[in-house]
Amino acid sequence: MRIIKTISGFRTERKKYANQTIGFIPTMGYLHQGHLCLIDQSIKENDITIVSIFVNPAQFGPGEDFNRYPRDLKTDTKHLKQRGVDVLFFPENKTMYRDDFSTYVEVTDLGKVLCGKSRPTHFRGVTTVVLKLFNLVQPSMAYFGQKDAQQAIIIKKMVRDLDLDLHIRVMPIVRDEDGLALSSRNRYLSASDRRSALLLSKVLEMAKKLISDGQKDCSYLIETMRNNLKADSSIVIDYIEIVSLSHLRKLEKINPKNTLVAAAIKVGTTRLIDNFILGEI
């Protein structure tokens, strides 16, 4: 596996793969099984698989966990080599953002709802770095996890709006045996935090069951989830929302082909998100 840190080095490397299909997985590192599933899928579907690891400062707000975000390049590279990844792009902050950097890309309305309400500059940071990476890597396919459903929806919209010539693949959420959606941030959780965190996937499962039993009323579903989460005093609810997958607009009734049920909570200092969808992103 080639490990490349500079833009010029990457451009030289990229020229070697003209006429080959390129699968790309942008990550912030501290890889878990969720990332590895995206990588395996890319290896299956493309001639060449490229991964980036970059903890992107532009998507962290003031007071968020940029400095303490977990990093472990040694273990990450071991996983990537074992999987058969061809190239790792691992730039420094100053490579991605020169001192006078001042150009941002924003998908306007979709970035203002759900997580965008409490993290107002987050998605602008994500789309800016992802567009820079797409521009450099020029992939045929890029892979994202459904756990960050809003991110995947926003990136798909950016690709469509800007006529980018690549396909976005969104892969299912990968969970631990106890149901907790995998996330690099799970390592912040103490044992008791983790017990509380589990309630998030449980209430989503409960809502899914209610829907499959015929419940369609979104207010009722949200209230039921909210009341169950409130039972644990160490959980602070950021939001529980039921929106359309296509436009992230609030729904009154469940649409079996176009629904995102999403929630974000805080347990201690750790912010956790989870969701399920009816339909396809």
28 near ligand PAF (CB under 6 A)? yes
Residue among 157 and 225 whose Cβ is closer to ligand PAF: 157
Shortest separation between residue 94's beta carbon and ligand PAF, angstroms = 16
Shortest separation between residue 235's beta carbon and ligand PAF, angstroms = 23
Shortest separation between residue 56's beta carbon and ligand PAF, angstroms = 4
Q: Active-site residue numbers?
A: 35
Q: What is the contact mask toward ligand PAF in residues 76 to 115, using x (rule: CB under 6 A)?
A: ----------------------------------------
Residue among 27 and 49 whose Cβ is closer to ligand PAF: 27
274 near ligand PAF (CB under 6 A)? no
Shortest separation between residue 151's beta carbon and ligand PAF, angstroms = 6
56 near ligand PAF (CB under 6 A)? yes
Q: What is the contact mask toward ligand PAF in residues 130 to 169, using x (rule: CB under 6 A)?
A: x-----------------x--x------------------
Structural contact between residues 125 and 116, judged by C-beta atoms closer than 8 angstroms: no
59 near ligand PAF (CB under 6 A)? yes
27 near ligand PAF (CB under 6 A)? yes
Site for ligand PAF in 110-129 (CB under 6 A): 126, 129
Residue among 14 and 124 whose Cβ is closer to ligand PAF: 124
26 near ligand PAF (CB under 6 A)? yes
3-state per-residue secondary structure call for the chain = CEEECCHHHHHHHHHCCCCCCEEEEEECCCCCHHHHHHHHHHHHHCCEEEEEECCCHHHCCCCCCCCCCCCCHHHHHHHHHHHCCCEEECCCHHHHCCCCCCCCCCCCHHHCCCHHHHCCCHHHHHHHHHHHHHHHHCCCEEEEEHHHHHHHHHHHHHHHHCCCCCEEEEECCCECCCCCECCHHHHHCCHHHHHHHHHHHHHHHHHHHHHHCCCCEHHHHHHHHHHHHHCCCCEEEEEEEEECCCCCCECCECCCCEEEEEEEEEECCEEEEEEEEEECC
CA-closest candidate to residue 59, choices 109, 135, 144, 131: 131
Shortest separation between residue 27's beta carbon and ligand PAF, angstroms = 5
Distance, in Å, from the CA atom of 69 to the CA atom of 240, rounded to the nearest integer, reads: 25
**Residues interacting with ligand PAF, by CB under 6 A?**
26-28, 56, 59, 126, 129-130, 148, 151
